[in-house]
Amino acid sequence: MVKIIGKENSLLNQYISELRDVNIQKDSLRFRKNLERVGEIFAYEISKKLDFEEKEIITSLGTAHVKTLKEFPVLAVILRAGLPFHQGVLNFFDKSENAFISAYRKYYKDGNFKIHIKYVSKPEIENRPLIIIDPMLASGMTMGHTYRELVNDQKPKHTHMISVLASMEGVNYVKRNFSGSEVTLWVGAIDDELTAQAYIVPGLGDAGDLAFGSKI
């Protein structure tokens, strides 16, 4: 199941347009802030699909019947580009437990690459909602490998994969590989092109470099 949050115009599209803009990107504080706000919006939209339960709360003037989250989702962030996006999701799901994963592309002589998982730190995931956070869904393979690494010995209640921008190829990869009953993919917008180097076009460039500086 694929949800394109940006289909309906909202502040999300304002932030995405700033994230894409080569001139506005120069301000890395605003770039990170925009990723954070996008994360907050995704968290809010996803929360509409989570389970709530009724509780009685004592106010200073009486008793209120309120609805609270039955359980907070586990947040899994793909390093390093995912960190500001994750920060936004965590700002809203402030009681969530968190997983951290680093993945890298190992290139072969023929130009192909394989995804390797290098670092994993994760909490109990069994039967809990899971949100996997990566700002860019290019080929979809990093997201796919991260998912498999996280769930290889545990079964989440439902998994929400989230990306600010996706390529059509990445969306199709997720659709082909994961059933809608297990996985929902949430994206801000879908771009048509994916280059041979796995860059989304027009995209926004390298989210990690823009947030944190280029790597050597």
CB 143 within 8 A of CB 198: no
Q: How far is the CB of 106 from a second copy (least distance, A)?
A: 14
CA distance 51 to 147: 22
CB atoms < 10 A from the CB of 105, how many? 15
Of 163 and 175, the one with the shorter C-beta distance to a second copy is 163
- With vertex at residue 126, the alpha carbon angle to CA 120 and CA 131, rounded to the nearest 5 degrees, is 60
Amino acid at 108: Y
Q: How far is CA 74 from CA 16, 18, 71, 125, 143, in A?
A: 25, 29, 9, 7, 16
Q: How far from the centroid of its chain's Cα atoms is residue 107's Cα? A: 24
For a second copy, the closer of residues 109 and 215 by Cβ is: 215
The residue (of 58 and 179) whose beta carbon lies closer to a second copy is: 58
Residue 106 or 109: the one with the smaller Cβ distance to a second copy is 106
Closest CB 177 distance from a second copy, rounded Å: 25
- Closest distance to a second copy from the beta carbon of 179 (Å): 25
Tell me the C-alpha distance between 133 and 153, whole Å: 20
- Using only C-alpha atoms, the chain has a radius of gyration, in whole angstroms, of 18
Shortest Å, Cβ 165 to a second copy? 10
In the complex with a second copy, which residue's Cβ is closer, 17 or 177? 17
Cβ-based nearer residue to a second copy, 78 or 183:
78
Minimum distance between the CB of residue 204 and a second copy, rounded to whole angstroms?
Answer: 6
98 touches 120 (CB < 8 A): no
Residues 116, 106: Cα–Cα separation, whole Å: 7
CB of 194 to a second copy, least distance (A): 11
